[in-house]
Structure 1
Amino acid sequence: MPKEMLVGQTLAGYAIRSEVGEGGTSAVFRAEHPQHGVVAVKVLREKLRNDKTAVARFVREARYGARVRHPNVVQTLEVGEAAPGMHFLAIEWAKGELLERYVKANAPLPFDEVATIVMQIADAVHAAHAVGIVHRDLKPDNVMYDPATRQVKLLDFGIATDTDMAPEQRLTRAGFFVGTLMYVAPEALSGELVSPAADQYSLATIAYLMLTGCLPFTAKTPREMFSQLLSQPPVPLNEARPGLHFSSAVEQVVMKGLSKDPRQRYGDTCAFAEALRDALANTAAAPLAPGGLLDRMKSIFKR
């Protein structure tokens, strides 16, 4: 059934009320269920029903998401087939908006807000790491944020990996990667074994973005970004944008999280988040830079 025809229908007990989003692999609907109340239902796109890779990712998102039970992780409610090939995933309805949209409109964010967001994402990711899961696609587009309550909900374990898998199964060939290039750790590009430290790198990139409105590299194309990630240091936090200044403590924390060598990062994501929280708490608010939020993002990686 085409997604346009799903609104108003009942899918495996979920009354589909409206479409709220669409990605390359699935459409997302607001739905109601007698037991779960208001939920989000993801439905695999019709053209991908016979794509084994797409189906496997869809099922993996549900399986890994169900293993992580944490207040800052969107709860997986049910996964199944409403009809042959019509794969669906029902998840908790998260209030707010995508963090990407919020940051694009409001960055640079206040220090206390940055600390609150980073701490919650770190806690969510740490919960995943505790059950042997590396997210591998940590980015603002996979985080729901409610500005009214400052609550964060982590989404999408579709390309996560299990640290219990044999190393040869977790390795990615050099030059190939999974994730989003702007946020992926350098080791994921060079064929190294991806560990929880890769999620810390991605979180440090998100923190950099929230503090400055910029990404830590100046690349304008995927090719340039690939090269810079492997061979160049990130732009120091205090050089990100004219008019912004951060204490040396804040800059040191963020740049340590962005170390190319995962062994030089913090011991875990929570240690990074706590160090950043403490550094920001001891720093006066930074001046706002005028105009052009996320200008480095406007021309790159349109998807």
Structure 2
Amino acid sequence: MAIETLVGTTLAGYTVRGKVGEGGTSTVFRADHATHGTVALKVLREKLQHDKTAVARFLREAQFGARVEHPNIVRTLDYGQSDSERYYLAIEWAGGEILDKYAEKSGPLSSKEVSEILSQICSAVQAAHDVGIVHRDLKPENVMYDPATHHVKLLDFGIAADTDAAPDQRLTRAGFFVGTLMYVAPEALSGELVGPAADQYSLATIAYFLLTGTLPYTGKSPRELFSQLLTQPPVTLNKAKPNLAFPVAVENVVMKALSKQPSDRYPAVKDFSEAFAAAAQTTAMASASIAQSVSGSSSQSAGAMPSGSDGEDKGGLFGKMKGLFRRG
């Protein structure tokens, strides 16, 4: 049965209501189930039903999802092979919108909001690391975010790796890297199995993107980007865009996690998350202090001043005060 004709049918007890997305190996549907309610139903493409590697990756995603239980990771509810021999994976239906779309619409985001989002993603990733799983494909497109509740759900363990797996159990051939080039750590480009530090690099890239609306490398083609990742340092946070300025504490945290050498990053994802949260809190406190100190003189000026992602004014008194953030 063609994948398009699944809508309106029942697969392994799931009534398929509509198509919500697709990737290179599978298609995702919204479906209803008598016990699980509304779910996201992931179905392996028919042409890959007999591809041993594709099937192994699909089933591994299901197993990893079942292995890691965390409030910020979509729950794996069910998986297997239907009577029609279609491989399927049913996961929790996550509300909200894809983080990438939210950031494009609402960004650049403030350090405070980025901290709220990042801490949840990092908590989920740390839980995976604690049981020996490296995600390897962390990016805004793999995160659901509900702006109303500020709740985050991490998706897609499709190319995750077990750090304890023997070489002959790995599904990625030596010399081939997996992941998304814009968010992948430099060490992954060698094709060797990466560790938790690679996920930290990807998380730092996500933070950079949410704060600035751009990425730490400017390559316009895969070849150029590949070369920059291997040979050049990332663009520092305060040089990402001319109209944005960040406290040195926030910049230092992000750039440390973007270090080319894994050993130069934070010891663990949770350490990166805590450092970013502390820097963001310092930023918020400094902003509040400045706002309070000038409130008494606000009656002497008229009109609102333009502000950046963290509320820094680009002119007038706040523009002069921006130097305090850079030094502190």
Q: TM-score, normalised by structure 2?
A: 0.84
Q: Is the 8 A contact 1:172 1:188 kept in 2?
A: no
Structure 2 residue 308 is matched with structure 1 residue 287: yes
Equivalence map 1:128-277=2 (5 Å): 128-166=128-166, 173-174=174-175, 176-277=176-277
Deviation of 1:162 after TM superposition, in Å, equals: 0.6
Query: Does structure 1 retain, via aligned residues, the 8 Å contact 2:110–2:309?
Result: no
Distance verdict in 2 for CA 1:83–1:204, change over 3 Å:
same
Amino acid in the other structure paired with 2:48: L
- Is 1:81–1:87's contact at 8 Å kept on the other side of the alignment? yes
Question: Measured at CA, do residues 184 and 132 of structure 1 come closer, stay the same or move farther in structure 2, by a change above 3 Å?
Answer: same
> Gapped runs of 5+ residues in structure 1?
290-303
- Kindly indicate whether structure 1 or structure 2 has the higher relative contact order, using CA contacts under 8 Å at least 6 residues apart: 1
- Cα deviation 1:15-65 (Å, max 9, x = unaligned): 111111122211111111111111110111122222222211111110111
Larger proportion of helix = 2
Q: Look up the SS of the partner of 1:19 in the other structure.
A: strand
Indicate the SS of the match to 1:141.
Answer: helix
Q: Deviations over 1:226-245 (max 9, x none)?
A: 11111100000000001100
Is 1:73 the counterpart of 2:94 in the alignment?
Answer: no
How many percent of aligned residue pairs carry the same amino acid? Answer: 65
SS in structure 2 of the partner of residue 255 of structure 1: helix
Relative to structure 1, the CA distance from residue 154 to residue 191 in structure 2 (aligned partners, 3 Å threshold; closer, same or farther) is same
Matches of residues 31-180 of structure 1 in structure 2 within 5 Å?
31-166=31-166, 173-174=174-175, 176-180=176-180
Which shows bigger deviation, 158-167 or 93-102?
A: 158-167
C-alpha deviations, 1:160-195, integer Å up to 9, x for none? 111112367668634x20111111111111344411
Residue identity in the other structure for 2:88: F
- For each residue in 1:144-163, what CA deviation from the matched residue of structure 2 results, as whole angstroms up to 9, or x when unmatched? 11111111111111111111
Secondary structure of residue in 2 paired with 1:189: helix
CA contact (8 A) 1:187 1:193 kept: no
Contact 1:145 1:151 in 2 (8 A): yes
Give the AA of the match of 2:196.
Answer: P
Unaligned runs of 5+ in 2: 288-306, 311-328
Query: Do 1:50 and 1:85's aligned partners in 2 also have CA atoms closer than 8 Å?
Result: no
Instruction: Tell me how far 1:268 sits from its aligned partner.
Output: 0.7
* 1:167/1:281 CA distance change after superposition, 3 Å: farther
The one-letter code matched in structure 2 to 1:128 is A
Aligned to 1:23: 23
Could you tell me how far apart the structure 2 residues matched to 1:4 and 1:191 are? 35
Q: Which moved more, 1:215-224 or 1:103-112?
A: 103-112
User: Residues 27 and 169 of structure 1: is their aligned pair in 2 closer, same or farther, counting only changes over 3 Å?
Assistant: closer
Q: 2:51 and 2:169 mapped to 1: Cα distance?
A: 21
The whole-number CA distance in structure 2 between the counterparts of 1:67 and 1:52 is 22
The residue number in structure 1 matching 2:291 is none
Residues in 1 aligned to 2:164 and 2:23: alpha-carbon distance in whole angstroms: 29
The AA in structure 2 aligned to 1:76 is T
The amino acid across from 1:102 in the alignment is Y
